[in-house]
Chain A
Amino acid sequence: MLSKRNPQLNAHGELIHLLSIEGLPKAVLTQILDTAGTFLSVNDREVKKVPLLRGKSVFNLFFENSTRTRTTFEIAAKRLSADVINLDIARSSTAKGESLLDTIANLSAMHADMFVVRHSESGAPYLIAQHCAPHVHVVNAGDGRHAHPTQGLLDMYTIRHYKRDFTQLTVAIVGDIVHSRVARSDIHALTTLGVPEIRAVGPKTLVPGDLREMGVRVCHDMAEGIRGADVIIMLRLQNERMSGAMLPSAGEFFKNYGLTPEKLAFAKPDAIVMHPGPINRGVEIDSAVADGTQSVILPQVTFGIAVRMAVMSIIAGNNA
């Protein structure tokens, strides 16, 4: 994006859209994580709702399927007292030929205050942010292979919750990195928060060499990749994004890179295992690990709601 300043920030450096973690200063990431901590405790109250977005309308625009992310955004917006409108765009006007910007213009005429956007094209949320009215905020809920910033942030919240200090950690990201917007967002966030060793682990076809330019250590051997790791982030093998013969078979992948108790033993004894979901048991992760004591996959989902509440409340409170 060629812009004089980061389009996510206003002139005071405050967050007004969340489009990508790339380019966001550490202070903004830390503010989101700290605010999420406040919202996590809202779950313990008798009234599990706060009035910050009362009277605001949040439109969930999912041009690509997602159940978990859309649901957690919906819960987060409702806990902030917003009105939530879910649009299944694949089945609506776009199918009739309406352009993306015409869709946005129409929804803006319905007094939308915030768009949560998932799109198969990288950059679609940027385009919307550039063309919507100044009071409207945009959250990227995943665009193409580019970014999935709220997943990256909830991963950072999870790591901070269990490990406290980012500056002593070794984090291994394992699996289908080439297709993963989660991996890209995680790498940007881990780098900004000061993690000294980030490893990308997987076969040559799924772990691109250009990751080295991002300061990541590339490992094609699983044992080497997770040896001594504090955090292991497993990625889903994205069958729907596979084109061409990138892998011999899912069984072959599991044999070499699937996280089993035997392979997990290479990591530190107190290492945590994360996964953005949905998990493919027996493809990238063994059930014994997914359901084991080191797995924090379900806490990630809970933290995800608090992180999305934090993002929406912070951007809604800042003016362009």
Chain B
Amino acid sequence: MSSLLLDAEALYADLLAGVRMLLQPGSALVGIWSGGAWLAERLQRDLKIDGEHGVISSALHRDDFGSRGMAAGADHTRLPFEVEGRHIVLIDDVLFTGRTTRAVINELFDFGRPASVTLAVLVDRGGRELPIQPAFSAARVALPRGQRLSLARDEAGRFSFDIKDAA
């Protein structure tokens, strides 16, 4: 699988349709920093949801803090709505081990007790290390473990994928 075969814009159209199906009255979109936050921002606009989307960071709940230390440059969590009792739809660009998802669910619960949490992702690349499954993924791909797949956004706001071999 090369990055050429992953058309991020086409997958975004599928994600838009998938997330539309997941919404219920009072749902709130929360994007996982950074790629998921870009997706949530655009989904919020395209789905004409009132108010602002949320952004959530895994930095304060990561399980690799002991070995990797504080994440530098990560944005902090901004949830401009009441979490208590809300239906939260988490949005991420790439789902891999599930560890980031676990961390942001812990982060989310520091703000209150949501009615439900569902997960929608652009790409599910397998390789899970925790029992976490998305309610919707626009694509499933298999990549070598050492490769890093992440979303990029250009100045015009168009999405593409970035693939790097781990150093």
Indicate, yes or no, whether A interacts with B: yes
Taking beta carbons and an 8 Å cutoff, which residues of A are in contact with B? 14, 31, 34-35, 37-38, 41-42, 45-47, 49-52, 313-314, 316-318
A41 touches B77 (CB 8 A): yes
Q: B45 contacts the other chain (Cβ, under 8 Å)?
A: no
- Count of B interface residues, CB-CB < 8 Å: 21
B60 touches A14 (CB 8 A): no
With A38-B59, A38-B60 known as contacts, the answer to whether A50 contacts B70 (CB < 8 A) is no
B109 touches A314 (CB 8 A): no
B73 touches A34 (CB 8 A): yes
A317 touches B70 (CB 8 A): yes
Instruction: State how many angstroms separate the Cβ of B129 from the closest Cβ of chain A.
Output: 19
B111 touches A45 (CB 8 A): yes
Q: Which residues of A have CB within 8 Å of B73?
A: 34
Closest to A45 in B: B110
A317 touches B68 (CB 8 A): yes
A-B contact pairs, 7 of them (CB 8 A): A38-B59, A38-B60, A41-B78, A50-B110, A51-B60, A51-B106, A318-B69
**C-alpha gap A244/B2 in the complex (Å):** 77
A47 touches B109 (CB 8 A): yes
Instruction: State how many angstroms separate the Cβ of A276 from the closest Cβ of chain B.
Output: 26
Q: Which of B57, B59, B84 has the most CB of A within 10 A?
A: B59
**C-alpha gap A111/B90 in the complex (Å):** 40
Q: B156 contacts the other chain (Cβ, under 8 Å)?
A: no
B112 touches A52 (CB 8 A): no
Q: B1 contacts the other chain (Cβ, under 8 Å)?
A: no
Q: B157 contacts the other chain (Cβ, under 8 Å)?
A: no
Q: Which of B59, B74, B110 has the most CB of A within 10 A?
A: B110
**C-alpha gap A42/B77 in the complex (Å):** 9
A47 touches B110 (CB 8 A): yes
User: Which of A38, A46, A316 interacts with B76 by CB under 8 Å?
Assistant: A38
Q: B81 contacts the other chain (Cβ, under 8 Å)?
A: no
A41 touches B69 (CB 8 A): no
A52 touches B111 (CB 8 A): no
Q: Which residues of A have CB within 8 Å of B77?
A: 41
A314 touches B70 (CB 8 A): yes
**C-alpha gap A67/B155 in the complex (Å):** 50
Q: B131 contacts the other chain (Cβ, under 8 Å)?
A: no
> What's the dominant secondary structure at chain A's contact region?
helix
In chain B, positions 89-113 with a C-beta closer than 8 Å to chain A are 106, 109-112
Instruction: State how many angstroms separate the Cβ of A78 from the closest Cβ of chain B.
Output: 15
A37 touches B76 (CB 8 A): yes
B70 touches A35 (CB 8 A): yes
Closest to A310 in B: B70
Q: Which residues of A have CB within 8 Å of B25?
A: none
Instruction: State how many angstroms separate the Cβ of A11 from the closest Cβ of chain B.
Output: 14
Closest to B69 in A: A317
Q: Which of A31, A49, A50, A318 has the most CB of B within 10 A?
A: A50
Instruction: State how many angstroms separate the Cβ of B66 from the closest Cβ of chain A.
Output: 7
Q: B72 contacts the other chain (Cβ, under 8 Å)?
A: yes
With A41-B76, A46-B110 known as contacts, the answer to whether A14 contacts B61 (CB < 8 A) is no
Q: Which residues of B have CB within 8 Å of A37?
A: 76
Q: Which residues of A have CB within 8 Å of B84?
A: 46
In chain B, positions 36-66 with a C-beta closer than 8 Å to chain A are 57, 59-61, 65-66
Q: Which residues of B have CB within 8 Å of A41?
A: 76-78
Instruction: State how many angstroms separate the Cβ of B126 from the closest Cβ of chain A.
Output: 28
Q: Which residues of A have CB within 8 Å of B57?
A: 38
Q: Which residues of A have CB within 8 Å of B65?
A: 52, 317
Instruction: State how many angstroms separate the Cβ of B114 from the closest Cβ of chain A.
Output: 12
Q: Which residues of A have CB within 8 Å of B112?
A: 46
Q: Which residues of B have CB within 8 Å of A42?
A: 60
**C-alpha gap A314/B69 in the complex (Å):** 7
**C-alpha gap A318/B112 in the complex (Å):** 31
Closest to A44 in B: B111
**C-alpha gap A186/B74 in the complex (Å):** 27
**C-alpha gap A282/B44 in the complex (Å):** 55
Q: Which residues of A have CB within 8 Å of B110?
A: 45-47, 49-50
Q: Which residues of A have CB within 8 Å of B60?
A: 38, 42, 50-52
Q: Which of A49, A317, A318 has the most CB of B within 10 A?
A: A317
Closest to B64 in A: A317
Instruction: State how many angstroms separate the Cβ of A50 from the closest Cβ of chain B.
Output: 4
